[in-house]
Structure 1
């Protein structure tokens, strides 16, 4: 099935994916400016970014309950909360304020993420089609666009608060299009028969994929600007390159996943991601780093979506939203814990060593894939 057909079938959650990507792409390109504004070093800034992880961990446990309460409006209202939350990082100037702002962003992002992934999984069950990569591709394409536009805005001295206000106004225009009822009604609590083995294995796959992705998103601009001497626009092109190649990888993965098993795709993608990250480590100039970011993005792009798709297919339909939310808890904690770990490694050994640690982390995916195959994936 073509990417366009997949997006046509899932156009409502795909829009939510795009909005989430637009915000995080803009945020990634603003990282050097926001870091300077709060007066934080690498290690402290990495800790402040853990505010997002705290917000995600909080919201993802009650996301299925909120989804049931709000019904067809849940995706629209969570996206509205996202647009409000992202006004905060552009306004605060103290470390404590920034941590709280990122906590709010984590709450809204986690809620939106669980709901939109559950809607895609519902559609996959209804249509018998693979749709997850195409939707995550929408996130990546919007992420690249947000990072690129923000890079231009930084060159023009546009402040973060103003740009996030503009993005919020755009979100308000499309909120009504995000109404979509869940396919099934789910219980509030954790079902006693939730297959935790599958959830933990798939969660670990998503965890590593998103940790690797987040490391590049949060620190690529700083690596290009500080380690390799690039300008603000050149720094913003780091996350832009990641987003573009991840979009290409996910849209291509939509077709590949219909011909190869999910676990085979993950293994090949892991090899590509390791090669790309190694290039980032040894890059002498920004252009080589861009190539590394691009190859890494192509590889890592499909791993997280396939981990979420696997758990959605391997659990009973009545447990789908709960299982995805628990898997997302594990995965997205890594997505925002990675910048903190990168900060500490960078503080002691530099950003080259921090990206080297990412390459080693990716290799852990290999035994996880074989464990999933043993469970029938």
Structure 2
């Protein structure tokens, strides 16, 4: 491995980024697992709960969009520390506002910090993960995303245990916030300086207007939008499954809530397994071929899920759906970061498109389903998965001459 880092430094860097992905997933599942208790404690209705989710979603998009400017100011190492502490504080404020002070405004402030911190961190940790990937010389970004999934599993399990033990929201969130703060400090100590990570740093920091110009420049590149479509299709597929798959099994296929939960677990396990072990396939066949095959798999899985005449085939469809949706987002991130000089801006732009789909897609599907039914609505995901496959050529690795031309 040709790198300025020693083997030990590299291993600690890689482990730190794995831990950061896991911490992000842990925090999100902690919040999600306590939503019913938060709603009950604050005595709010579904409409008010929707406004809380909207505030968090908007803050997340702002965090994603502004992260290149933050990185230009702080560097990824310090930026990840600050954003982890930000969403840790936000999580603590959510708990304090729920049980200790009974303050809806404080919960909103906490959700804004929580959403902004997680959104901003998402770009930074993906930029760092792609730097690790480039030094290793093989595809590993999907494994980082699998660690995010592990974090959500741990967070959901811990949330269920906290509810079972009768722990209130504030006690639960304060403990998790403390864990996140400790992880942030440990990871900060093990992430190398960006120069050591081969991420160029200008000798003199440019004015903020110039930094913002660089951050926005990616939005003028056609490749950004093509990668955005690849990620949008798969983000819609993943977000739609998370929010609607279980309901579709339970109600539209008439299999009941237990089967719905089991089908969602089947989807999640299939996705995680491919993220853990799909890297060698990408290295063997290339991003474009893998993305096209997975787009076909996702479309076929969703179609089978919609049309299946019996429950076993519904589960097969859910598994194929999870396999197909597994790598679109991480491979889109990896492609956006092909040129290290512009990685932050391009990852941010592509991620913004993907996360708008991930956060905004499920509510749109829910609205449409009120008019045409949930299973019929899922045909939209089939079309988007197909579009993702059609635009997958944008993920082809950039040649050195293309990167040099882009930097002029």
Specify if TM > 0.5: yes
How do residues 101-116 of structure 1 correspond to structure 2 at under 5 angstroms?
A: 102-116=111-125
Q: Deviations over 1:203-224 (max 9, x none)?
A: 2212222222122223445556
How do residues 238-253 of structure 1 correspond to structure 2 at under 5 angstroms?
A: 240-253=265-278
CA distance in 1, matches of 2:314, 2:16: 35
Seen in structure 2, the aligned counterparts of structure 1 residues 193 and 226 have a Cα distance that, compared at 3 Å, is closer
Query: Retained in 1: the 8 A contact 2:29–2:152?
Result: yes
Seen in structure 2, the aligned counterparts of structure 1 residues 185 and 350 have a Cα distance that, compared at 3 Å, is farther
Tell me by how many angstroms 1:289 deviates: 5.5
How do residues 52-71 of structure 1 correspond to structure 2 at under 5 angstroms?
A: 52-71=56-75
2:102 aligned with 1:75? no
Seen in structure 2, the aligned counterparts of structure 1 residues 131 and 373 have a Cα distance that, compared at 3 Å, is closer
Seen in structure 2, the aligned counterparts of structure 1 residues 27 and 125 have a Cα distance that, compared at 3 Å, is same
Seen in structure 2, the aligned counterparts of structure 1 residues 297 and 33 have a Cα distance that, compared at 3 Å, is farther
Q: TM-score, normalised by structure 1?
A: 0.81
Across the aligned residues of Structure 1 and Structure 2, the Cα RMSD in angstroms comes to: 3.7
Query: Retained in 1: the 8 A contact 2:141–2:331?
Result: yes
Q: Deviations over 1:290-314 (max 9, x none)?
A: 554433222211110001111111x
Query: Retained in 1: the 8 A contact 2:268–2:322?
Result: yes
1:329 is matched with 352
Q: TM-score, normalised by structure 2?
A: 0.75
Larger Rg: 2
Q: Deviations over 1:154-200 (max 9, x none)?
A: 56665555433332222123222221233233762233864611111
The 3-state SS of whatever aligns with 1:15 is: helix
Tell me by how many angstroms 1:86 deviates: 3.2
What is the count of residue pairs matched by the alignment? 367
CA distance in 2, matches of 1:281, 1:159: 40
Match of 1:167 among 172, 176, 193: 176
The 3-state SS of whatever aligns with 2:46 is: coil
How do residues 1-377 of structure 1 correspond to structure 2 at under 5 angstroms?
A: 10-29=14-33, 38-40=44-46, 49-71=53-75, 72-87=77-92, 102-151=111-160, 153-154=162-163, 160-179=169-188, 180=191, 181-182=193-194, 183-185=199-201, 188-191=211-214, 194=218, 196-220=221-245, 228-230=255-257, 240-281=265-306, 291-313=316-338, 316-370=339-393
The 3-state SS of whatever aligns with 1:189 is: helix
Structure 2 unmatched ranges of 5 or more:
2-9, 403-408
The 3-state SS of whatever aligns with 2:212 is: coil
